Amino acid sequence: MKKLFALAALVVAAFPLQAKDKPAYEKGVLMQMESSSCGYAEKDNKTLAGEILGTDTQHKKTQQVLCQEYTLQTARITYRIRPKDDKHPALLPIGEMASFRIHKDKLLLRVIESDDKEREYLVISMTPRADVAQN
């Protein structure tokens, strides 16, 4: 009876230890990087003394913000992607192979030749490749 109980306890304890399947990555080539407009950054010229006395003008300095936009080409689809982290985007090497997977609403990309970190990107557009024959 003890052997049966020990065997049952071992089987129950082994269920949570089952390894998950590794995520399936697709392969693609980073074809090009372009700078595209992401919006505008505004900076006010207000001071505390000007606010109290009412002497500040309503001038705002506006500057166009540029974001990196990459073209990732796979065997059948061309993706246009933009880094999700706008403040600290990593510069990716053009012409290198990259592995990626799509998880929920984001594309997780890693470049093996670089630091092999998985980074989040937003998919701007997806277009089927015209130079590949449709099956």
| 32: Cα separation from own chain's centroid | 16
Region 62-85: what's the mean pLDDT? Answer: 90
Model pLDDT for residues 99-134, shown as the tens digit of each residue: 999 998 899 999 888 787 899 999 999 999 988 766
Summarize pLDDT for 29-58 with one digit per residue, the tens: 999 999 888 777 777 666 665 666 666 556
Give, in order, the Cα–Cα distances in Å from 50 to each of 11, 45, 47, 53, 69: 74, 9, 5, 5, 41
Q: Provide the pLDDT for residue 51.
A: 61
% pLDDT > 90, the chain: 37
Q: 3-state SS of the chain?
A: CHHHHHHHHHHHHHCCCCCCCCCCCEEEEEEEEEEEEEEEEEEECCCHHHHHHCCCCCCEEEEEEEEEEEEEECCCEEEEEEECCCCCCCCCCCCCEEEEEEECCEEEEEECCCCCCCEEEEEEEEEECCCCCCC
**Mean pLDDT: which of 7-11, 37-41, 83-87, 96-100 is highest?**
96-100
What distance in Å separates the CA atoms of residue 131 and residue 6, rounded to the nearest whole number?
Answer: 62
Q: Between 24 and 10, where is the model more confident?
A: 24
